[in-house]
Structure 1
Amino acid sequence: MTLNVRLRQASRDDPARRSMPSVTTADAAVRASAEELDAVLMRPIRRLLGDRRIVLVPTSVLHSVPWSALPSCRGRPLSVAPSVACWMRATPFATAKGVPHADGSVWVAGPDLRHAEREVRQLHAAFGGQLLTGERSTVDSVLSTMDCSLLAHIAAHGRFRQDQPLFSAIELADGSLYGYDLQRLTRAPRLLVLTACESGLTADRGGDQTFGLASVALRLGSSAVLASVLPVPDEPAIDMINALYTRLAAGDSPAAALAAAQHEHGDFGFVCLGNGF
């Protein structure tokens, strides 16, 4: 809990965050907090874990912990779910054929984010699919294009509302795409990747009831959502994202691909939500 508070205090509304290479280099206090939380939650069971992958079902504020910052979790495939039942209901994202090509993928860049368009254009050039940038990345266009898609990647400004989590939003060309807007989808993308600040945060309402952009997508059919629980530095995260897709294309599961990419290129607070195996 201390880790999460300190990480978010060190990152939120901090202009220097845009040039930080990773969360783990933010400051010594953050690293110390990660060690403290790891000692309480993970170290007692580390021997039992071995090198196994992990399914985490957190409670309360632990939903917003950047788990890959904990020493016991670094480089380890890990999926976070609101409940065991939710995780078991989710259909694993099939990676036998790598990243979906042609009409199976959607790449979106929101406005006023310096490197977002470069990020999605590189991915579109590598994998094909539908590309929405500039004036084309409207709320209606994004929703209609990613409806029932296999993979959707959105690079945009994001904001989380703890008081009204369904008003958490991603900024697009003509305004905000709110959490409740996702309910217009017939089915959410099988794999949803959000390189948007705090887009992986959820508000816990007790039991397995969590609310936020990612949790809505999971309820609407996404197998997994890859999103950050912290502010995301724009340019430094691109290498990590490229490594993520290289591993997905090679057949890694979303959880394994994300764990390896963040371990190699810096921890940006991304978590794999849902069933990422």
Structure 2
Amino acid sequence: FEHWQAVVDFCEAQSYWRLQEYERATNSAQQAYAIFQKFGLTRRLVQCETLLGQIAFANGQIESAATHFAAAQASAGPYELPAVTYRYHIGWARVHRLRGKFEEAYSHYEQALTFIEQQQTKIGAEDYKTAFLNDKIEIYEEFIQFCLDQKRAETREMAFAVFERAKLIVQSAEQTLEWRDGMGRRNERIQAKNQANESELDGQIRQLRRELNRYYTQFHTPEANFATVADATRLNKMIVQCEQQLSELLDTQRHLDLAAANGASITSTNLTTIQADLPPTTLLLEYFVTNEQVTIFCVEHNRFAVYQAPVTVDQLLDLWQLLNFQIGKFHLGAYFRERHQRLLQNSIDEVLGQLYTLLIAPFSELLQDCEQIVVAPHHVLYNLPFHAFFNGEKYLLETHDVVYTQSASFHHVVRQSLANKSLRPGLILGLSDMFIEQAEEEAVAIAEVFPGAELRLGVDATTDLMLHNEYPRAFMHLATHGVFRTDNSLFSALKLADGWLTLQELKDVSCTAPLITLSACDSGRSETLLGDKLIGFYQSFFNAGAQSVVASLWALDDQVAIETMKAFYKAVENGDAVHHALRNAQLQLMSSRRHPYYWAPFMLVGNPDLTISQRGTTDDTL
């Protein structure tokens, strides 16, 4: 009984500590410590000493905190206690930071991160990795800021290295390992899963997905005029209930994945290697967003610099909402656009000008020597069109080639990935849908550029073509309807003839293509969870083996989408790298339609130098 009473006291102490009731927290922790000591429970004693150190530190008692952290470390001794060990290392790091001892603080931060990363590799399911990291990613951010605060060249490089580690650990470790090992391992695993006998759980999941497809189709059908508001509300309620049930079943299914952890260590690419791989005229920008400022790591072939912009997250969110408001005006009809053309142009240029001032101007002197800018966003920056930022005279795309990546390490890995020599002809899907009446026309226009590609229109553009590919294609083009769900991002979906392909289902795609083009509304939008974990369409396709993804940040003008894609694919067919092809198509469109609504929605993420065969077949290598 005493042991369990001590456990309760310890939990109370943690609660009081979080509530900043430090005296009560100390009393409860000391009571628990006395009982744990009586029974000789070493692990519990280490937990108590660590908590007492955290309480003392929070209460400004630095030397007392140091005493407790030292006792925790001594008590741990030879025992392997990773769940506790990283906590007292963090405590020691904070104590040494206040003492002004950089080397000691750095060492303890490093040891804490090592413990976190070792434990993370032992978890198989992505959901559980996210839960595990939930209270730990702030340690990375604290470590980054600590390095930046030293204001020395070597500590700025340390900050960059820690940031790369933070991005890698919260993004899919599985994705990076597969890039380095090729797609074979993933294909074997998913094919084995597909060949296994369907369990009762699999059948329930399949049934719920069929129901959801039916509900989604009803909800998004233009002619579905609901008799009453109650009818629409009822359908929405059924969708939510069905999604909740499906999430619960998928969570049950993922319990089995816990045993599938590969245990492989996660390592980011070092700065020297990243720089060596960058062309002399390329500038890579990695943004680090905190509540009060944005830090910009500027990486070039022969130079590394760090700039800071005094802008808050709230300011950035306000500008993003203003940008969406300006883009949204184009849904008011052609007459409104023509009548207010100049006002619309000036209004959006003002917003894009503010973004340029905040996020590009701090390092504007570096732009003179570069031709290509690679943007690695962070936090709220993922959904911003950097290529459309305005300097008062020109958009950034007019002066520079602009591409996007998830991190500097990812950019290096995806550029180094080897081409698959066994590629089938390209796949072009054109959905027949009243929301996007010209999708089939767009697909046919692209097929004229690549007559060797497989063209599927209307009822033939099915989800099976995506889910059951045995071999990767040279490219895939999806002219379809997309919905990005801000309320439940994992149920964001692309519509195909026989149903909706959600982000959940894209995890089961075994083979896609080096180049994916998502000519669908909002296909480039994403949500960040847990520091910088990306949830979005292009992230899912990278997980499935894509090297470059072209996606859109907002709803497309159908006719403009056709023009852009025709120009893009003609350049690709001519042998241009995808970044040249997309930029030239956008500049061509800009000459007749200056407003960014028309030319700026498309963005290129991934390998900018990718080329595909002239006929979309395996006759030429990538």
Q: TM-score, normalised by structure 2?
A: 0.40
Match of 1:256 among 552, 577, 580: 580
C-alpha separation between the residues in 1 aligned to 2:418 and 2:450?
Answer: 16
C-alpha separation between the residues in 1 aligned to 2:572 and 2:418?
Answer: 10
1:9 corresponds in structure 2 to 325
Match of 1:28 among 333, 346, 350: 346
C-alpha separation between the residues in 2 aligned to 1:156 and 1:92?
Answer: 31
Alignment of 1:74-89 (within 5 A): 74-75=397-398, 76-89=400-413
Indicate the structure whose relative CO is greater, using CA pairs within 8 Å and at least 6 residues apart.
1
Larger relative strand fraction: 1
5+ unaligned residues in a row in structure 1: which ranges?
A: 96-101
Alignment of 1:95-134 (within 5 A): 103-112=424-433, 113-128=436-451, 129-134=453-458
C-alpha separation between the residues in 1 aligned to 2:327 and 2:418?
Answer: 34
The AA in structure 1 aligned to 2:388 is A
Measured at CA, do residues 254 and 87 of structure 1 come closer, stay the same or move farther in structure 2, by a change above 3 Å? same
Measured at CA, do residues 60 and 161 of structure 1 come closer, stay the same or move farther in structure 2, by a change above 3 Å? same
Aligned-residue Cα RMSD (Å) equals: 2.9
Q: Is 1:254–1:276's contact at 8 Å kept on the other side of the alignment?
A: yes
2:239 corresponds in structure 1 to none
Which moves more between the two structures, 134-143 or 194-203? 134-143
What's the offset of the Cα at 1:218? 1.2
Which moves more between the two structures, 48-57 or 67-76? 67-76
Give per-residue Cα distances to partners, 1:105-129, cap 9 Å, x unaligned.
1111123121111111111122121
- State the SS of the aligned residue for 2:348: helix
The AA in structure 2 aligned to 1:119 is E
The AA in structure 2 aligned to 1:104 is P
C-alpha separation between the residues in 2 aligned to 1:86 and 1:24?
Answer: 40
Alignment of 1:1-277 (within 5 A): 1=316, 2-12=318-328, 15-16=331-332, 26-50=344-368, 51-71=370-390, 73-75=396-398, 76-91=400-415, 103-112=424-433, 113-128=436-451, 129-145=453-469, 148-266=472-590, 267-277=599-609
C-alpha separation between the residues in 2 aligned to 1:196 and 1:24?
Answer: 28
Give per-residue Cα distances to partners, 1:118-160, cap 9 Å, x unaligned.
1111111221211111110111134335962121011111111
Q: Is 2:429–2:461's contact at 8 Å kept on the other side of the alignment?
A: yes
What's the offset of the Cα at 1:216? 0.9
Q: Percent identity?
A: 26
What's the offset of the Cα at 1:59? 1.1
Q: TM-score, normalised by structure 1?
A: 0.87
What's the offset of the Cα at 1:88? 1.7
- State the SS of the aligned residue for 2:403: strand
C-alpha separation between the residues in 2 aligned to 1:25 and 1:170?
Answer: 34
Q: How many aligned positions are there? A: 271
C-alpha separation between the residues in 2 aligned to 1:18 and 1:268?
Answer: 19
C-alpha separation between the residues in 1 aligned to 2:552 and 2:468?
Answer: 24
5+ unaligned residues in a row in structure 2: which ranges?
A: 1-315, 591-598, 610-622
- State the SS of the aligned residue for 2:396: coil
The AA in structure 1 aligned to 2:383 is S
Q: Is 1:93–1:224's contact at 8 Å kept on the other side of the alignment?
A: no
C-alpha separation between the residues in 2 aligned to 1:265 and 1:207?
Answer: 36
What's the offset of the Cα at 1:49? 2.1
Measured at CA, do residues 250 and 124 of structure 1 come closer, stay the same or move farther in structure 2, by a change above 3 Å? same
Measured at CA, do residues 141 and 18 of structure 1 come closer, stay the same or move farther in structure 2, by a change above 3 Å? farther
C-alpha separation between the residues in 1 aligned to 2:471 and 2:454?
Answer: 12
Q: Is 2:494–2:502's contact at 8 Å kept on the other side of the alignment?
A: yes
- State the SS of the aligned residue for 1:8: helix
C-alpha separation between the residues in 2 aligned to 1:232 and 1:94?
Answer: 33
1:99 corresponds in structure 2 to none
What's the offset of the Cα at 1:3? 4.4
Q: Is 1:153–1:193's contact at 8 Å kept on the other side of the alignment?
A: yes
Which moves more between the two structures, 107-116 or 47-56? 47-56
Which moves more between the two structures, 27-36 or 188-197? 27-36
Measured at CA, do residues 25 and 220 of structure 1 come closer, stay the same or move farther in structure 2, by a change above 3 Å? farther
Higher Cα radius of gyration: 2
Measured at CA, do residues 48 and 222 of structure 1 come closer, stay the same or move farther in structure 2, by a change above 3 Å? same
Larger relative helix fraction: 2
C-alpha separation between the residues in 1 aligned to 2:501 and 2:412?
Answer: 29
C-alpha separation between the residues in 2 aligned to 1:3 and 1:270?
Answer: 20
The AA in structure 2 aligned to 1:59 is H
Measured at CA, do residues 201 and 118 of structure 1 come closer, stay the same or move farther in structure 2, by a change above 3 Å? same
What's the offset of the Cα at 1:17? 6.4
Give per-residue Cα distances to partners, 1:147-193, cap 9 Å, x unaligned.
62121011111111123222111111122111122222223321100
